[in-house]
Each structure stands twice: as structure tokens, then as C-alpha cells.
A and B are shown apart, each in its own frame.
Chain A
Amino acid sequence: MISKWIGKRVVMGIIVLFIVSFLSFFIMHAAPGDPATAFYGGNAQTLNAAEKERISRVFSLDRPVIVQYGAWLWETVQGNFGYSSKEGRPVSVILFERLPNTLLLFSVTMFFIIVGSIWLGTVAGMKAGSMWDKGLSTISIASSSIPPFWLGILFISFFSVKLGILPSSGTEDVGGDGGLMDKIRHLIMPAAVIILTHVGIYARFLQESIKTESNKYYVLVARANGVAKREIQKGILRNASIPYLNYIGMTIPSFFGGAVIVESLFSWAGLGQLMVKAVMTKDFPLIMGGILSIGLLVVSSLLIIDLVMYGVDPKLRKGAYSK
């Protein structure tokens, strides 16, 4: 049974992508040069008149802007993102090369952040008044105040320059075997930087939710009637996870934003680094493709979180929130 709520979220996601696409089209339109050049980039010079004519027809370049947008959107939806103005290769091909690296970095860091913050937050939240409880808020504020790229610089200067045990950049060794170990060695520092600067705030949020939940009336009732501590804690954790998941969803966009910087610092060949490079070289087709694909990533991760929430929160399943 597909619920009304999930349907609503999907529609919302599509609207978001629509706005994103509109913004990127606007950017292309504002870009210098004629639209054919903007879309076909460096290849434009090699195009003959007939091909230019064809592009102009496909993208309705002689028609009003809104029609052009429609034509462009139609091409984009079909996977035709144009050609990189610097490399000359199709944008979609370049994006697909980069996607696995971004997904790898994202899933590894998210995994450790979630596991770590659940562990820390639960320990701190359940033991009110303990060292953990008091320490976590300070540590989480401090760790989230460190600029991630600066921590990255410190890491590089220590682990790469001084100790020489970890590579300072790239996704794999040049001329290396490209094996798993190689990838992991390159992944450690960028992942650690993201995890260390983020895990604290998520843990803290969970800790606060657990504390709020522990003061609810039903906890008191259960405690007064001799319900086992573990059973009570399970219930608390389950309810506290609802605002926690919500918080993850709220912070996902800025999380992706932060990853852009870290990818660039470590030359991690993902979408974020690609975006930064494209901005530097003013490669507009690539910028547009980058925006769209990161938008798509954000929207799909939000949808995954929505699905998890749907499983965790019975009020959502039963539609108890909608009035």
C-alpha cells in the first residue's frame, strides 16, 4: 500500500528538482556566449552550420526563453546534459565517472556518523548527570566549530607530510593496483575529517531527544509499574529516533555542501570536486550537470529517510498528523 504521505513526499521531491533545473537553466542562460556554445562548449567551433542549425532547432533557440527551457528540460530528462566545454566529452559520462566516488564517501561517512552518534547520544542521554552527559554538549559544540578543511590541512601535515603513512590526495595511487586497500587508504582522511566534525552535533541532538523523551509521562508510568529498564529504554530510543531522523533529513543538504569542500581539499574525484573545478574553469554545462546530479542525490537521500521514518513512526503510517 503506497500511502498518501509517501506520495506527497515524492511530489515534493519532483518540485524541488524542478526548481533546481530552473535555476541551472537560468545560470546557463546568464552565461556568456551564445547558447549553442554554452551547451556544446568547446566543441562548438568544430560544428558546421547544419549542426548548429540542428541544435538551434532541438533547443528552440529562436523561440521565447520559456520554450527553450521546456526543450532543454526535455533533453535533460532524457539524459542529454550537453558537452563539457573544457573536456569536450558528454557531461553525463563525466558525471557517471564521478558518482561512485561521491556515493562511497557519502555512505561511509554517513554510516559512521549515524552509528557513532547513536552510540554516543544514547550513552549520554540515558545516563543523566554523568560525565558523558555533561561532556557531550561541550565536545559537540567544539568539534562542529572546526572548519573541516582546516582539520584536513592539519591531518595532511601530520599523517602525510610528517609521518608519511597516508596519501594526501586522490582516490587511488597513480599506477597502483586500484584495489580495495588502495581505495581505503585514500578514503581514511577525507572520511575522518567529515565524521569528526559532524558526529558530535548529531549525537548531541539524539541526547537531547532522549532526555526530553525520558521525562514523558508514559516513562514514569512504566517505571512505577516495574517495567524492565531495558524495555523502557527501548521505547524511549524508538521515540527519540523520530526527531533524530528528522534532523538528519534537515541537515542532509548542508552535509552535501560540506562534502564539496572536503572532496576538493583531498582531490577526491567526486561530484563536489568536479563542481569546484567546473566553477574555476567556467565550464557551464558541467556546472549545470553537477547541480542537477547533486540535487538528485539530496532528493533521493531525503526520500530514503522519509521511508525509514515511515517505518519507525506509526503516527505517520496511520496518518495521525494530518488534520
Chain B
Amino acid sequence: MKSRKSLAFWCVVLGLIVAMTVFAGLFSTYGPNEMDMDTIYQPPGKGHVLGTDHLGRDVFSRLLEGGKVTLTVAGVSVILSFIIGVLYGGISGYIGGAVDVIMMRFLEALITIPSLILILAFQAFMQGGMWSMALIIGVTGWLVTARIVRSEFIRLKEAEFVKMAKMFGTPMWKIIFGHLLRNSVPAIFVVTLVNFTGAVFIEVSLSFLGIGVPSAIPSWGNMLFYAQNDILIGAWWIGLFPGIMIFLTILAINFIGEVLKDPRRRRLDA
């Protein structure tokens, strides 16, 4: 009961954040890149709800636009890593045998390499726009998904209903999509949520360091990049709000994942 309430609450929070950023144009009061040199470093108050930055840009409007960029990068990368992970894990788990052993050994080796280091290396010669950022996060983020898909496939392959389906000559693709994949959805969903928080973390971290999304595009990480200097002169609002947004987004997803992960709930729904 309590867990259902908390699930609803955090879904609403996440939904609000996503809606506000997706429809940024509707809510923002200024253009995200609209500069006004007469009103630089204005603290939150009338006119600018969350203040202005060093170029007189409206922090609130940039916050919404930045969220769109950050969440898009994370979303696209998660879709990409989902596809790669399902393919890799699915093939490994479905075929089994020596192929499985080799593929898993390779995966185990890859998992021990910090993905951030790989991403940094890719960034060195691929540094481009937000799409290349999403691509890089996606191609380095599928490892855990693959592992989970594989173990789910192996578990389900032995299940009675799959054996039955095979016996009745159900075509392979139907078994894979209709039985194996469909029943792995709860587990894959949870790991995808975790991936999403990881992708948000990576985008904001890299942009914050100045090696992520190009600084001309507003993203939560880029806003924090500039905020580093602004904080030194006391303009706390520029760094505070993007941080809170990141925190809230990740918090909401983590709490949602927490409820879904709960085995008691899983059993009720299955």
C-alpha cells in the first residue's frame, strides 16, 4: 500500500519534469539563449523567477531547455544500449554453449573497464553535438542489460511453457519475442531505469567538465560548467537549480526502480 503511494508520487514528479522540459517552449518566459546585458547576475525574483546568468539569460528558461537536452541525450542513449544489450544478451542466452561462454567472458572483461574512461577516450576524437554524445553513452552502456537479458533468457528457456511452445513447433521468432522477451520485460525495465540515471550522470558530468555537449547548447551539465565561476562571486542560483533538477530526476527514477524491484510486488503482478 505504502509502496504504491510512493510509486504514484515519484511517477508524478518524473512526469512533471519530463512534461516541463519536453514542452519547454510553452512554459519558458524568455528564449533560452536570449541575452540581456543590462540584467546580468540578477538574483531570483520578479521578472526572472530563478534569476539570470552572466550573459543576462533567464535561468528558468534555460533550465527547461537544458532539461530537454539532457533527458534527450539520456533517453536516446538508453534506447541504443537497450537494443544492443537485448541483441547481445539474447543471442548469447538463446544459442548457449560455447558461443555463450565466449560472449560472456568478453562481456565480463568489458564490464571491468570503467565506462567513463571509455567514453572519455571516444570523446577525444568524436567530440561533436548532442547526438554523438548520446551515441557514445549508448554504445558503452549496454553491458549490464546484456547480462540480465541473457540470464532471463536462460531461465525462461527452461520454463515449461517455452518447452511446450517448442514442442508444438512455434516458430523461433515467436518464441523469442512472444515468450522470452515478453517475460523478461520486468527485469529489463528495471535495469533500463538504472541505465537512464547513469546516462544522465554521464552527460551532466562530462558537460560539466567541458568535454560533453558543446557549450553553446544549454544542458544541465553545461549550466553547471558556467556556474563554477559564478559561485565564486556569490551567484549561487545559477548552480543550485540545475543541480536540484538533476537530483530530483535521478531521485524519482531511483525510487520508482526501488518499488518495481521489490520482489513482493513482482510476484503480485506476474
Chain A 141-162 residues near chain B, CB threshold 8 A: 141-142, 144-147, 149-150, 153-154, 156-157, 161
Residues of A49-74 whose CB lies within 8 A of B: none
Do the beta carbons of B124 and A147 come within 8 Å of each other?
Answer: no
- B108 contact from A12, A256, A265, Cβ within 8 A: A12
Q: Is B114's CB under 8 angstroms from A280's CB?
A: no
- Knowing A156-B231, A279-B120, say if A150 contacts B246 (CB, 8 Å): yes
Query: In the complex, which residue of chain B has the Cβ closest to the Cβ of A280?
Result: B211
Q: Is B172 an interface residue when CB atoms closer than 8 A count as contact?
A: no
Contacting residues, chain B, for A137 (C-beta < 8 A):
258
**Which B residue sits closest to A30, measured CB to CB?**
B125
If A12-B108, A27-B124, A145-B254 touch, whether A256 touches B117 (CB-CB below 8 Å) is yes
Interface size class of A (residues with CB under 8 A): 35 or more
A24 at the interface (CB under 8 A from B): yes
Chain A residues near B243 (CB, 8 Å)? 147, 150, 153-154
Map CB proximity to A onto B237-254 as digits: 1 under 8 Å, 0 otherwise: 001000100110011001
A153:B109 contact, CB within 8 angstroms: no
Chain A positions within 8 Å of B239 at CB level: 150, 153-154, 157
* Residue B189 at the chain A interface, CB threshold 8 Å: no
A-B contact count (CB 8 A): 128
Interface residues on B, range: 35 or more
Of the listed stretches A40-48, A88-96, A122-130, A293-301, chain B binds A293-301
Residues of B within 8 A of A24 (CB): 121
Chain A contacts for B111, CB-based, 8 A: 253
- Nearest chain A residue, comparing its CB with the CB of B242: A150
Chain B, 15-64, CB within 8 A of any chain A CB: none
A19 contacts which of B109, B115, B205 (Cβ < 8 Å)?
B109
Tell whether A165 is near chain B: CB-to-CB under 8 Å: no
Q: Is A284 an interface residue (CB 8 A)?
A: yes
B52 CB to nearest A CB, Å:
18
In the assembled complex, which residues on chain A have CB atoms less than 8 Å from the CB atom of B165? none
- Does any Cβ of B come within 8 Å of A16's Cβ? yes
Inter-chain contacts of A302 with B (CB < 8 A): 112
Q: Do A20 and B247 have beta carbons less than 8 Å apart?
A: no
CB-CB < 8 A to B122: which residues of A? 27
Nearest to B123 among chain A residues (CB) is A279
* Distance in angstroms between the alpha carbons of A113 and B227 in the assembled complex: 29
Asked if B110 lies at the interface with its beta carbon under 8 angstroms from chain A, I say yes
A287 at the interface (CB under 8 A from B): yes
- A298 close to B204 (CB less than 8 A): no
The answer to whether A142 and B116 touch (CB under 8 A), given A23-B121, A24-B121, A153-B224, is no
Chain A hits for B247, CB < 8 A:
145-147, 150
Are B114 and A147 in contact, with the CB atoms below 8 A? no
Q: Which of A145, A153, A253, A295 contacts B115 (CB 8 A)?
A: A253
Contact in complex: A145, B250 (CB < 8 Å): yes
Chain A residues contacting B251 (CB-CB under 8 Å) are 141-142, 145
Q: Which residues of B contact A20 (CB under 8 A)?
A: 113
Q: Which residues of A contact B124 (CB under 8 A)?
A: 27, 31, 278-279, 282, 284, 287
Interface residues of chain A: helix, strand, loop or mixed (majority): helix
Residues of A with C-beta under 8 A to B201: 147
- Are A157 and B112 in contact (CB-based, < 8 A)? no
Q: How far is the CA of A265 from the CA of B227 in the complex (A)?
A: 12
A290, B112: Cα distance in complex, Å: 16
Question: Could you tell me the distance between the alpha carbons of A32 and B205 in the complex, rounded to whole angstroms?
Answer: 26
Closest A residue, CB atoms, query B106:
A19
**Known contacts A19-B109, A149-B205, A153-B227; A294/B125 CB under 8 A:** no
B228 within 8 A of A: yes
Q: Is the CB of B120 within 8 A of A298?
A: no
Q: Which of A238-282 contact B (CB under 8 A)?
A: 252-254, 256-258, 260-261, 264-265, 275-276, 278-280, 282
Contact of B113 among A19, A146, A154, A260 (CB under 8 A): A19
Residue A15 at the chain B interface, CB threshold 8 Å: yes
A291 in the interface (beta carbon within 8 A): yes
Q: Tell which of A27, A144, A145 touches B125, judged by Cβ atoms closer than 8 Å.
A: A27
Complex Cα gap A291–B111 (Å): 14
> Smallest distance from the beta carbon of B13 to chain A beta carbons, Å?
12
CA distance A258 to B116 in the complex (A): 8
- Given A16-B112, A27-B125, A32-B125, A153 and B117 contact (CB-CB distance below 8 Å): no
Q: Would you give the shortest CB distance from B7 to chain A, in whole angstroms?
A: 14
**Which single residue of chain B is at the shortest CB-CB distance from A161?**
B232
Q: Is the CB of B125 within 8 A of A282?
A: yes
Question: Are the C-beta atoms of A27 and B121 separated by less than 8 Å?
Answer: yes
CA of A264 to CA of B243 in the docked complex: distance in angstroms?
18
| 6 A–B contacts from the bound complex (CB under 8 Å) | A147-B204, A147-B243, A260-B117, A279-B123, A284-B124, A287-B124
Q: Which 5 A-B pairs have the closest CB atoms?
A: A257-B116, A257-B114, A150-B243, A145-B251, A145-B250
Known contacts A284-B124, A295-B117; 16 additional CB pairs below 8 A are A23-B118, A27-B121, A145-B254, A149-B208, A150-B239, A157-B231, A157-B236, A254-B115, A254-B116, A260-B114, A264-B209, A279-B120, A280-B211, A282-B124, A282-B125, A294-B117
